[in-house]
């Protein structure tokens, strides 16, 4: 499951150092400096559309130490103004090249098939021709992967896959014969290479890193990402299989265990605004590190507070304002009387309480009214208001100030249909934001969480946060995408089932 869009299709560009330079690099690392492009509003619109399916969407079936560096395989990345990282792999012998998304939020590898006759997307992208590969092995098992607003269908095959200079033999992958979505038409990628766990792989196909491990192609059972967020730098970043490049991070990595295999999921704590708690995740939230996501996606309750703190434009929710107006004082009084926050909204009749938490239908956003009933929206608005009022009570604010603050947040709710713009001239005045992970704070400065875009020669600034609500027991949930991974070098340790973060250099 993925919420709506973000800013672009996050991709990587893989090229061999030996291919371009005529041999291995002198330090054993495969590095290529790749050129960048500037992002304009038209490209952003196309990328947003593509993001609706490939960014935070997941298959609908729900299936889904001190590290040295020695002879690791380095995959240089190309940065498309912080939002797009293009990558190339080779499938077959000799290699047939495909631009792919290296996505830690999915696990299958798929590329268009030469047998794809009736999808326009296939005619606009490279297609795999099994008859031209000497290492092709027929499988034939059919499959379908459904996303939030589209799907792909095809069949499995096996062949060699070239990643950097590593040749993975007999890799099971999908040849797509149908790509039923405009996303695959406008997308600049041919396919997707998943780096998630086998638990969410369709058809039990092993993810590429598992094949590398089984074939003993890498020294250590890890891969790591360094994303260069400087749009003026020549290098876009690096993906390293089998180790880490110490030049790309400072200090030591902080590791957290993977709590639920499938995605790279772990337990995190609170989000702090200017050092102060936002409340909603104070007791803990789940989080997923996703290289296929450009921004940061989290609970509307928190993103509204972020919008308010940084002056981001939002939209007004009449249901939210109605709850504050009609029930605000009652909510405040119940909290002062030490009523359990989880029971407040059920006591005033806006939600149903199941013994652990208030229950409403699964609501992706309180401001998305499609297929949502009014009672569900009021319940969600009430739950957010409880968190906001509770935070202000901790600060010993007066009743008037507390209710006024909650009412202001009702006007800063993130839009489910687009990004929230901010004033570029106010970036220096915005607060630092910080995630609490393993009892340590990982700070994002305004320069790191605000994304700058170019439009007609002018710079537009947008918030790096968007709303995404997952109800209990799976949620609340954060998706930490490239905005976070750009600030913190990230190690994916599948040998020890853990994730490591260190400041990027």
Is pLDDT above 90 for 412? no
Give the mean model confidence (pLDDT) for residues 328-344. 94
How many CB atoms within 10 Å of residue 336? 11
pLDDT at position 170: 98
Give the mean model confidence (pLDDT) for residues 300-321. 89
pLDDT, tens only, 220-254: 999 999 888 777 776 778 888 888 989 999 999 99
Higher pLDDT among residues 431 and 219, named by residue: 431
Residue positions annotated with a catalytic role: 103, 290
Is pLDDT above 80 for 368? no
Which of the four pLDDT bands, split at 50, 70 and 90, describes residue 68?
very low
Highest mean pLDDT among 27-36, 180-189, 284-293, 456-465: 284-293
- Calpha distance 205→222 (Å, rounded): 19
b/e for 2-17, b at 16 or more Cβ within 10 A?
Answer: bbbbbbbbbbbbbbbb
pLDDT, tens only, 348-363: 999 876 555 555 444 3
Q: Say if CB 305 and CB 351 are below 8 A apart.
A: no
pLDDT at position 240: 86
Give the tokens for residue 416: 């489910």
pLDDT at position 234: 66
Is pLDDT above 60 for 18? no
pLDDT at position 16: 28
Is pLDDT above 60 for 454? yes
Give the mean model confidence (pLDDT) for residues 64-70. 34
- Calpha distance 322→128 (Å, rounded): 56
pLDDT cut 90: percent of the chain above it: 54
Is pLDDT above 90 for 120? yes
Is pLDDT above 50 for 366? no
- Calpha distance 42→59 (Å, rounded): 28
- Calpha distance 199→344 (Å, rounded): 38
Q: Pairing mode, if any, of strands 271-273 and 433-437?
A: antiparallel
CATH of 30-51+75-218, one of 3.40.50.410, 3.90.1150.10, 3.10.110.10, 2.40.70.10: 2.40.70.10
| Residues 318-353+370-411, CATH architecture | Orthogonal Bundle (1.10)
Which residues, 6+ apart, have CB-to-CB distance to 448 below 8 Å? 229, 464, 483, 486, 487
Q: Say if CB 318 and CB 291 are below 8 A apart.
A: no
Higher pLDDT among residues 297 and 20, named by residue: 297
Q: Where in the chain are the domains?
A: 30-51+75-218, 247-314+416-504, 318-353+370-411
Which residues, 6+ apart, have CB-to-CB distance to 135 below 8 Å? 92, 93, 159, 160, 169
Is pLDDT above 70 for 29? no
- Calpha distance 191→174 (Å, rounded): 10
pLDDT at position 2: 42
Higher pLDDT among residues 372 and 116, named by residue: 116
How many CB atoms within 10 Å of residue 266? 22
Full-model pTM: 0.80
Give the mean model confidence (pLDDT) for residues 76-86. 51
Give the mean model confidence (pLDDT) for residues 398-412. 93
Highest mean pLDDT among 11-15, 108-112, 380-384, 412-416: 108-112
pLDDT, tens only, 137-174: 999 999 998 765 568 999 999 999 998 888 999 999 99
pLDDT, tens only, 162-205: 988 889 999 999 999 999 888 788 777 899 889 999 999 999 99
Does 30-51+75-218 match 318-353+370-411 in CATH topology? no
Preceding amide of 476 cis, omega within 30: yes
Task: Determine which of 67-76, 378-387, 395-404, 464-473 has the lowest per-residue pLDDT on average.
Answer: 67-76
Which of the four pLDDT bands, split at 50, 70 and 90, describes residue 459?
confident
Query: What HEC string does 438-503 produce?
Result: CCEEEEECHHHHEEEEEECCEEEEEECEEECCCCCCCCCEEEECHHHHHHEEEEEECCCCEEEEEE
What is the Cβ-side half-sphere exposure of residue 296, based on CA atoms within 13 angstroms? Answer: 28
Q: Say if CB 332 and CB 403 are below 8 A apart.
A: yes
Task: Determine which of 82-86, 102-106, 488-492 has the lowest per-residue pLDDT on average.
Answer: 82-86
Instruction: Give the rounded distance of the alpha carbon of 489 from its chain centre.
Output: 15
Which of the four pLDDT bands, split at 50, 70 and 90, describes residue 101?
confident
Query: What HEC string does 281-314 produce?
Result: CCCCEEEEECCCCCCEEECHHHHHHHHHHHCCCC
Chain mean pLDDT for the chain: 80
- Calpha distance 406→381 (Å, rounded): 11
Q: Say if CB 102 and CB 11 are below 8 A apart.
A: yes
Which of the four pLDDT bands, split at 50, 70 and 90, describes residue 419?
low
Highest mean pLDDT among 53-57, 61-65, 337-341: 337-341
What CATH code is assigned to 247-314+416-504? 2.40.70.10
pLDDT at position 265: 96
């Amino acid at each position: 499951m993925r919420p709506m869009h973000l800013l672009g299709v996050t991709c990587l560009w893989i090229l061999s150092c030996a291919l371009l330079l005529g041999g291995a690099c002198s330090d054993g690392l495969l590095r290529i400096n790749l050129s960048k492009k500037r992002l304009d509003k038209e490209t952003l619109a196309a990328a947003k559309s593509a993001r609706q399916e490939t960014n935070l969407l997941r298959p609908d079936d729900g299936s889904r130490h001190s590290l040295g560096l020695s002879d690791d395989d380095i995959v240089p990345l190309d940065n498309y103004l912080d939002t797009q990282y293009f990558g190339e792999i080779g499938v077959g012998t000799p290699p047939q090249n495909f631009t792919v998304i290296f996505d830690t939020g999915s696990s299958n590898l798929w590329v268009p098939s030469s047998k794809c006759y009736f999808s326009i997307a296939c005619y606009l992208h490279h297609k795999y021709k099994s008859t031209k590969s000497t290492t092709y092995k027929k499988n034939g098992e059919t499959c379908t992967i459904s996303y939030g607003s589209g799907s792909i269908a095809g069949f499995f095959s096996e062949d060699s896959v070239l990643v950097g200079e590593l040749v993975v033999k007999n890799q099971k992958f999908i040849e797509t014969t149908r790509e039923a979505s405009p996303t695959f038409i406008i997308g600049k990628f041919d396919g997707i290479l998943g780096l998630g766990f086998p638990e969410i792989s369709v058809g039990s196909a092993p993810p590429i890193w598992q094949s590398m491990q089984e074939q003993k192609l890498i020294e250590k059972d890890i891969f790591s990402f360094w994303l260069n967020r400087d749009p003026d730098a020549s290098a876009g970043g690096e993906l390293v299989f089998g180790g880490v490049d110490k030049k790309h991070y400072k200090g030591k990595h902080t590791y957290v265990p993977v709590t639920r295999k499938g995605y790279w999921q772990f337990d995190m704590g609170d989000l702090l605004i200017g050092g102060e708690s936002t409340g909603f995740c104070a007791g803990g939230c789940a989080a997923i590190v996703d290289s296929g996501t450009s921004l940061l996606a989290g609970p509307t309750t928190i993103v509204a507070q972020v919008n308010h703190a940084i002056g981001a434009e939002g939209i007004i929710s009449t249901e939210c304002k109605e709850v504050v107006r009609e029930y605000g004082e009652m909510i405040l009084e119940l909290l002062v009387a030490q009523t359990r926050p989880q029971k407040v909204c059920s006591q005033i009749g806006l939600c149903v309480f199941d013994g652990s938490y208030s229950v409403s239908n699964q609501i992706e956003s309180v401001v998305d009214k499609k297929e949502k009933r009014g009672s569900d929206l009021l319940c969600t608005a009430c739950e957010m208001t409880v968190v906001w009022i509770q935070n202000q009570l901790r600060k010993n604010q007066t009743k008037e100030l507390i209710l006024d603050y909650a009412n202001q947040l009702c006007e800063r709710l993130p839009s489910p249909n687009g990004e929230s713009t901010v004033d570029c001239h106010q970036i220096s005045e915005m607060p630092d934001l910080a995630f609490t992970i393993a009892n340590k704070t990982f700070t994002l400065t305004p320069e790191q969480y605000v994304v700058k875009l170019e439009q007609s020669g002018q710079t537009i600034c947008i918030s790096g946060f968007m709303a995404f609500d997952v109800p209990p027991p799976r949620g609340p949930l954060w998706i930490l995408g490239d905005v976070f991974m750009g600030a913190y070098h990230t190690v994916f340790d599948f040998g020890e089932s853990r994730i490591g973060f260190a400041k990027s250099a």
